[in-house]
Chains A and B, each alone.
Chain A
Amino acid sequence: MDKKIEWFRLVVHIGAWGTLLVLILVNFFNPNSVNPILTFEHHTGTAALIFLILSLAGTPVGSILEWKDFAKRKKALGVYGFMFAAVHVLAFLWLDYGFQFKFIFNVVKNTVYIWFGLAAFIMALALAITSFKKMKQLMKKNWKRLHRLAYVIAPLAVIHFFLIVKANILTLQGNVIEPLIYGSIVLILLLVRIPPIKRGLINLRTAIQSRTRRPNPV
Chain B
Amino acid sequence: MDKDYQSLKIDRSEITPKSLYLSRRDFMRSAALAAGAVALAACAPGAAKSIDGSTAPTDPSNAYMDELGNPANSFQQTTNYNNYYEFTTNPQGVARLAANFPTSPWDVNVYGLVNNPKTFTVDELNQLFTPEERIYRMRCVEGWSLVIPWLGFPLSKLLEAVEPTSEATHVRFETVFAPDEMPGLKNLSYPWPYQEGLRLDEANNDLTILATGMYGGELPAQNGGGIRLVVPWKYGFKSAKALVKIELVDYQPDTLWNAIAPNEYGFYSNVNPNVDHPRWSQATERRIGDTDRRLTLMFNGYEDQVGYLYEGMDLKENY
Q: Helix, strand, loop or mixed for chain A's interface?
A: helix
For residue A87, which residues in chain B have a CB less than 8 angstroms away from its CB? 37, 40
- The answer to the question of B99 belonging to the interface, with a C-beta cut-off of 8 Å to chain A, is no
Residue of A21, A39, A106, A113 near B283 (CB, 8 A) is A106
Let me know if A142 is at the binding interface, CB within 8 A: no
Q: Mark B27-53, 1 if CB is under 8 A from A, else 0.
A: 100110110110110011011001100
Q: Given A94-B30, A113-B280, A167-B260: A100 and B20 within 8 A (CB)?
A: yes
| Shortest distance between the CB of A59 and any CB in chain B (Å) | 30
Q: Given A95-B40, A98-B27 in contact, is the A173-B280 Cβ separation under 8 Å?
A: no
Q: Are B286 and A37 in contact (CB under 8 A)?
A: yes
Q: Which of A24, A32, A87, A95 has the most CB of B within 10 A?
A: A95
Q: Is A112 an interface residue (CB 8 A)?
A: yes
- Contact segment of A50-58, A72-80, A174-182, A197-205: A174-182
In the complex the two chains form, is A24's CB within 8 Å of B20's CB? no
Q: How far is the CB of B80 from chain A (nearest CB, A)?
A: 5
Q: Is the CB of A32 within 8 A of B37?
A: no
- Is the C-beta of A143 less than 8 angstroms from some C-beta in chain B? no
Q: Does B191 contact A (CB under 8 A)?
A: yes
> Does B22 lie at the interface of the complex (its beta carbon under 8 Å from any beta carbon of A)?
yes
**A111 to B142 CA separation, bound complex (whole angstroms):** 12
Q: Which residues of B contact A111 (CB under 8 A)?
A: 276, 279-281
A217 is an interface residue with CB less than 8 A from chain B? no
Check if A167 sits within 8 Å of B189, measured CB to CB: yes
Interface pair A34/B40, CB less than 8 Å apart: no
| A171 contacts B by Cβ under 8 Å | yes
B263 nearest CB neighbor, chain A only: A168
A175 and B85 contacting across the interface, CB-CB below 8 Å: yes
Q: A91-B40, A103-B283, A110-B281 are in contact. Are A174 and B189 (CB under 8 A)?
A: yes
- On whether the beta carbons of A28 and B43 are closer than 8 Å, the reply is yes
Count of chain B residues with a beta carbon within 8 Å of a chain A beta carbon: 54
Q: Which of A98, A106, A113, A171 contacts B292 (CB 8 A)?
A: A98
Chain A 88-113 interface mask (CB, 8 Å, partner B; 1/0): 00110011111110110011001111
B288 at the interface (CB under 8 A from A): yes
Given contacts A34-B81, A95-B44, A97-B293, contact A107 B191 (CB under 8 A): no
Number of A residues contacting the other chain (C-beta, 8 Å)? 47
**B19 at the binding interface (Cβ < 8 Å):** yes
A-facing mask of B82-99, CB < 8 A → 1, else 0?
A: 000100010110000000
Which residue from chain A places its CB closest to the CB of B80 in the assembled complex? A34
Q: How far is the CB of B279 from chain A (nearest CB, A)?
A: 5
Q: List 21 A-B contacts (CB under 8 A).
A: A28-B47, A29-B50, A34-B51, A35-B91, A35-B144, A35-B286, A37-B286, A38-B286, A86-B36, A87-B37, A90-B34, A100-B19, A103-B20, A103-B293, A107-B283, A110-B281, A168-B261, A171-B260, A173-B260, A173-B261, A176-B189
Not counting A20-B39, A29-B47, A106-B281, a sample of 4 additional A-B residue pairs whose C-beta atoms are within 8 angstroms of each other reads: A24-B39, A28-B46, A35-B91, A103-B293
Chain B residues proximal to chain A, CB less than 8 Å = 19-20, 22, 26-27, 30-31, 33-34, 36-37, 39-40, 43-44, 46-47, 50-51, 54-55, 76-77, 80-81, 85, 89, 91-92, 141-144, 187, 189-191, 257, 259-261, 276, 278-281, 283-284, 286, 288-289, 291-293
Closest A-B pairs by Cβ, 3 of them:
A28-B47, A34-B81, A98-B22
